[in-house]
Structure 1
Amino acid sequence: MSREDSQFKLRMPPELREKIEESAKLAKRSLNAEIVARLEESQFRTGKPTELPQASKAREMAAVSRRKMAAAIRSEILSALQYAISQGLSEAPVDLGGFSLDELNEHEFEDVFLEIYPELTAAGYGYEWDKRHTLHIDFSSPE
């Protein structure tokens, strides 16, 4: 950002500011840079792009999308576990067919599951893939 960029005051609830500050820390950028990046991403996603974004910006936006995908997948895992436990099962199949996992290269795929795999392992779960559509989470064996 340059000093010539326009400035304006922004009011937001303290809880929202805390969440965005945390995201900014994770992304290693300032609060202002985080807000600007989110607005740019939103504009690119929902508007009709008229300019080709720089490749570095495209990589950054794709990484943000992968982090969002990881959070959504984690939520699906929790729902599947909740259902399996409530039904007395010892395995939870997680249907991830609604995500574009087949289109990710190996690095992008691993990026999505970077935090999910260690969390499952640390909690004592086993897991196995049925292609890239169904993640089977097993909790039948004691640790």
Structure 2
Amino acid sequence: MSRDIAPFGLRMKADLKERLDKSAKENKRSLNAELIARLESTLANTEKFISAEKAREAAAHARSQIKERILAKCFRDINEGIQVGINDIYLNLSEFRLDEVDEDVFDELVSLAVNKLDELGYEHEFFDASIHVKF
């Protein structure tokens, strides 16, 4: 059995590797498979015509990135609220077009932020494309 895989050494900052490891675990694949999926997704986005399978893979990859972006936005907005002395914020998620996805996908996309909010003791409730967070 011959392998059509060229070995390739890669150096990266430790914090980037940790984030990629975390993403790989969330996507239930190895770090190598995560990196390959991300690279293929990036290249697929530059192709004029892509197969339905590649489109599904690219969308799944984008969903994993959106979860992290929602989490980052949530805590960025919380920190901004703290700096101006307020105890609650309305986190506007309209930029993620969550109103265009079904309820299961919505729940998946906000799960990382919701779990972290719960873990840290924040109160929260949903309003359309926003989350009201109290602290």
* TM-score normalised over the length of structure 2: 0.79
Q: Is 1:32 matched up with 2:32?
A: yes
Q: Is 1:104 matched up with 2:104?
A: no
SS at match of 1:113: helix
Name the aligned partner's letter for residue 28 of structure 1. K
Q: Which runs of 5+ in 1 are unaligned?
A: none
1:42 counterpart residue number? 42
Task: Report deviation, 1:91.
Answer: 0.9
1:131 counterpart residue number? 128
Alignment coverage as a number of residue pairs: 134
| Map 1:71-86 → 2, pairs under 5 A | 71-86=68-83
Q: What do you get for the CA RMSD once the two structures are aligned?
A: 2.5
* Greater Rg by CA: 1
Alignment check: 8 A CA contact 2:88 2:132 kept: yes
Do the aligned partners of residues 4 and 26 (structure 1) sit closer, same or farther apart at CA in structure 2, a change above 3 Å counting?
same
Alignment check: 8 A CA contact 2:124 2:132 kept: yes
Q: Which runs of 5+ in 2 are unaligned?
A: none
Alignment check: 8 A CA contact 2:20 2:31 kept: yes
* TM-score normalised over the length of structure 1: 0.76
Alignment check: 8 A CA contact 2:89 2:134 kept: yes
Alignment check: 8 A CA contact 2:74 2:113 kept: no
The 10-residue stretch of structure 1 (68-77 or 19-28) with the greater mean CA deviation from structure 2: 19-28
SS at match of 1:48: coil
Measure the CA separation in 2 of the matches of 1:21 and 1:118: 19
Q: 1:122 aligns with which of 119, 122, 130?
A: 119
Do the aligned partners of residues 66 and 81 (structure 1) sit closer, same or farther apart at CA in structure 2, a change above 3 Å counting?
same
Task: Report deviation, 1:31.
Answer: 3.7
More helix, by proportion: 2
Alignment check: 8 A CA contact 2:77 2:89 kept: yes
Do the aligned partners of residues 85 and 24 (structure 1) sit closer, same or farther apart at CA in structure 2, a change above 3 Å counting?
closer
Percent sequence identity over aligned pairs:
30
